[in-house]
Structure 1
Amino acid sequence: MENLKINNKNLSAIGQRIAVPKYNRDIIKTGIVHVGIGGFHRAHEAFYTDQLLHNETIKEWGICGVALLDFDTKIYNTLKEQDGLYTLIVKELDGTHTKRVIGSIVECLYAPENPIKVIEKMASPEVKIVTLTITEGGYNYNEATKSFDFTNPLIIHDLENPDTPKTIFGYLTQALKLRKEHGLNGITIQSCDNIQGNGHMTQNMLLSYVSKAEPGLMDWIDKNVSFPNAMVDRITPVTAAEDIAHLKESSGIDDAWPVVCEPFKQWVIEDNFISGRPSWETVGAQFVEDVEPYEKMKLQLLNAGHSVLGILGALLGYNTIDEAVNNPNISAFLKHYMDKEVTPTLGGLEGVDLDAYKQSLLERFGNINIKDQIERICSETSAKYPIFILPTIQSQLASNGSIKLAAFLTASWAIYSLGTDENGNALNIKDALKQDLNEKAKEAKQHPTAFLELESVFGALKQNPVFTEAFVNAYNDITSNNIEDNLKSINSAF
């Protein structure tokens, strides 16, 4: 079987092998600019939009994908060479692969190469929505001060060099300024990141920046820009070399960067779009008045659950999430954490069977075909902890609920931050605060609570005697024994 390079020219031939876009991509206009064209966006929003574009009456909602950062060169070059096309490989629970080519990304831009072009695209009349997947850390939020971090060197650069920005805030500010100057309609800025109240977060952080960068723009933004909240969900592991090779061997398709994901997908969106929106509800998205109950459930169960499996699994020497969850001691710990510490904080969830949802998470985590790398899950934990885990701890402390399991997880993270697993193997830690975490983890050998001194991550936890006692006990238990035996002991208590 001849290998076909994925591009517009070969699309018809590829369509003889797997599903391809049936719409004419040449007539699709860009209505959405998306910043952060990594795997999750391409498995989620771009997938939903691709399905929508199969309605032949819809021609105005193509996506312009923007690679924002210097290290995004590879994904930009790949998509550029492939005319924005890529293969989505859904790894089903039964081991089969469902493959289709996604065509909704009709333009690609590399921001570091031409910042003005990106700004002008965001400010073009046909663009109605800017969507974001910039990761939790991309919002420049300081947990300790509860405010925008103006000490960030990149932010300082953007304030001093507005025409050559490096952060999303610099780009959005200049684009909105241009829209105002050209007398254009407003625009919607929609976060697709795992942050509770992600629309509110986007709005607050952007306005903080604008208040210093372009204060005269504040009123215009208030009247002309909307920031809907949304909850997003689809497990999307890093594409492995084996995935690329298997696609070529099984289907004869040469795709330099396909995306793999689980079959489950969910997108719950607040219906707050100031200049129109795609009818994503016709392809499975859900528009609601209040996203908060859904996103809180997802962040504190699924995302926090991932962190539990990642940290504990890493210390035990596992490489993938399915390996970790299939360890009965880790799985039981996670069940207890979800039931005893997270569930009491969630309140009423109308129309949601919480027990069934939690059981589905364990099944999804255990999908042996996904092979989600623990290294990926543990990356940037310092940005994830304040969003996924800290709210549960704070809520439980306020109601005198259990925090023993969260304290054990936090102590495990302190051990993880030393940089080796229990077998003495080096851990490849990827975190913006890696050095700070490592220094505090070393201090914690003598004084365990030193690890809690990073206020940008832990807020005021070190000042809470209930939590610090549980944390110190857990830390001492781990250092005097091993993770597995501690898990057995904890689980036996429930």
Structure 2
Amino acid sequence: MKLSTETLSDLPEQIARPSYDRSRVTAGILHVGLGNFHRAHQAVYLDDLLNRGGSTEWGILGAGVMPADATMREGLKAQDCLYTVLEQDAAGDRCRVIGGMTDFAPVAAGHAGILRAIRGAEIRIVSLTVTEGGYFIDPATGLFDAGHAAIAADIASPETPTTVFGAIVAGLRWRRDTGMAPFTVMSCDNVPHNGDVARAAVIGIAEGQDPALANWIAANVAFPNGMVDRITPATTDARRAHLRDAFGIEDTQPVFCEPFRQWVLEDRFSDGRPALEEVGVQFVSDVTPYEHMKIRILNGGHAMIAYASALMGLHYAHDAMANPQVRGFLEKVERTEVIPIVPPVPGTSLTDYFSQIEERFANPRVEDTIHRLCYDGSNRQPKFIVPSAADCLAAGRGVQGLALASALWCRYCYGEGERHETFEANDPAWARLKERSRVARDRPAAWLEMSDIYGPVGQSKVFQDAFSEALGALWATGTEATLRRYIDTGLS
């Protein structure tokens, strides 16, 4: 059965579907970047709210900026913007149809669809999932890169933006000039202080175009920070076939995910918001402690198991958690180096949080690939691993496990595994990383000289020594033996 409005009532009884009248839902949110994560996270919360009888003015108008988004738009519109979410764990599958998306704006050069939508008074929130690398941050400084070619182009040509942030600035200029209330800019990306990062991009472009506009945005537009969490692997043809065979649905754009989800959000909005607290969103005055916990323990944990697993020929996260060396490595680093330097989180036990993460990583139904976890280390390591090392060094604590995690990444970037298998390019900076890794085999310090990634940590004699010893052990005895030695006695 092809998914559509017409076939909704004919779906099998075990499939949950919208209980609300979709024809009454209007778009109050323009969301840019309708990848799997958004559609399994923010969109699900809003669907929950609509199912509870929540305000119908907070539907989602989808938008995209990449060529692949045009294909997704075509697929979703053919299904009346409906799609299925399949939550999977050892207990089974739970299938539901999400109906809160009202339409998908045209995807075109110059962002004409976004610019048209963003001028509508009904749009009161513009939300984003444009990936960690989409915020134009200079890796050397950690600040907004106003000199980036795309940003410079937007500053020079305000009416023809090339980036989503240029389009947001154009929309806010329109609202200021017409006396319309500004919208909230709400990042839902897995980026530390994502609201502040989005704010830097928007105000940075506005400052280059018109300082008065930048001042107006700074005074009137909210950019709430938020912590988001749900493991959402890539959708494959095999997964689509499972949905078809198990539930009788033909859906070109389904999403598969774990049951767990979390959203902690600062309660700062320019022009109202949906009552998401009714469906489990935690509103706080400062998201920092929650964000710190998730990025260091969960995202850092993914980085710890990723490269060791790849080097040992493991394919999925649940395979990693079933391997005593990989799981033992994760547990020791988390409990001795990471958790002790994560600040307290209100109402949360960090050890219980980590135990829950271990269960989530071990979920065999998610089939989260090690290849996905290894992707884009040059952007993720400086956010997920290096800050923990910096805090340990500042506190006079050991960094042996974190240095080993970094050495495993370096060894992976060599491009060839321990059985002479080839690791294909898996990072936007792959050529640079591969070259550095090959130099570092004989001179480990060469890897830490990437100052845009390691900063002061790479200059620490303590970290240098621990990294050098770890990388040397990986080359001398292999991943499994090195992990076993670290777990049993340490590498020193």
Displacement, 1:113?
Answer: 4.6
Q: Does 1:32 align with 2:29?
A: yes
For the residue of structure 1 that corresponds to 2:56, the secondary structure is coil
Is 1:353 aligned with 2:349? yes
Q: 1:169 to 1:57 in 2, by over 3 A?
A: closer
Distance in 2 separating the partners of 1:142 and 1:466: 27
Q: How does 1:351-430 map to 2 (within 5 A)?
A: 351-430=347-426
CA contact (8 A) 2:110 2:162 kept: no
Aligned CA distance change for structure 1 residues 57 and 311 (closer, same or farther; 3 Å) = closer
> 1:135-192 CA distances to partner (integer Å, 9 max, x unpaired)?
1111111232232223433323333443333322212111111111121112211111
Q: Secondary structure at the match of 1:166?
A: coil
- 2:255 counterpart of 1:243: no
Query: Which residue, 162, 166, 169 being the options, matches 2:165?
Result: 169
SS of alignment partner, residue 99 of structure 1: strand
TM-score, reference length from structure 1? 0.95
Q: How does 1:472-487 map to 2 (within 5 A)?
A: 472-487=468-483
Q: 1:404 to 1:110 in 2, by over 3 A?
A: farther
Number of equivalences:
490
User: Could you tell me which residue of structure 1 aligns to residue 140 of structure 2?
Assistant: 144
Aligned mates of 2:425, 2:54 — CA distance in 1:
48
Match of 1:61 among 41, 58, 61: 58
Aligned-residue offset at 1:16:
4.6
1:380-425 C-alpha deviation (Å, 9 max, x unpaired): 1211111111210111111111111111111111111122222222
The Cα shift of 1:40 comes to: 0.5
Asked if 2 retains the 8 angstrom alpha-carbon contact of 1:144 and 1:458, the reply is no
Residue of structure 2 in register with 1:50 after alignment: 47
Q: Give per-residue Cα distances to partners, 1:74-129, cap 9 Å, x unaligned.
A: 322221222211100000332x1100000111111243356122122123211111
Q: Which moved more, 1:206-215 or 1:183-192?
A: 206-215
The answer to whether residue 432 in structure 2 is matched with residue 436 in structure 1 is yes
1:488 matches 2:484: yes
Contact kept in structure 1, 2:231 and 2:258, CA below 8 Å = yes
2:80 is equivalent to residue 83 of structure 1 = yes
Greater mean deviation of Cα atoms: 388-397 or 69-78:
69-78
CA distance in 1, matches of 2:157, 2:438: 39
Q: Give, in angstroms, the shift of residue 446 of structure 1.
A: 2.9
In structure 2, how many angstroms separate the alpha carbons of the residues matched to 1:191 and 1:26? 28
| TM-score (structure 2 length as normaliser) | 0.96
Match of 1:295 among 291, 310, 322: 291
- Paired with 2:110 and 2:363, the residues of 1 have a C-alpha distance of 41
Structure 1 residues without counterparts, runs of 5 or longer: none
Question: What is the CA RMSD across the aligned residues, in angstroms?
Answer: 1.6
Contact 1:124 1:179 in 2 (8 A): no
What letter is aligned with 1:377? L
Distance apart, 1:70 and its partner CA:
2.2
**Contact conserved, 2:88 with 2:259, CA < 8 A, in 1?**
yes
Query: How far, CA to CA, are the matches of 1:441 and 1:466 in structure 2?
Result: 20
Superposed CA deviations along residues 9-61 of structure 1, whole A, max 9, x for unmatched, are 22222265621112121221111111110000000000000111123351100
- After superposition, residues 67-466 of structure 1 pair within 5 angstroms as 67-94=64-91, 96-113=92-109, 115-466=111-462
Q: Which residue of 2 aligns with 1:13?
A: 10
In structure 1, C-alpha distance between the alignment counterparts of 2:279 and 2:291, rounded to whole Å: 20
Identity between Structure 1 and Structure 2 (%)? 37
Q: Contact 1:173–1:214 at 8 Å: present in 2 too? A: no
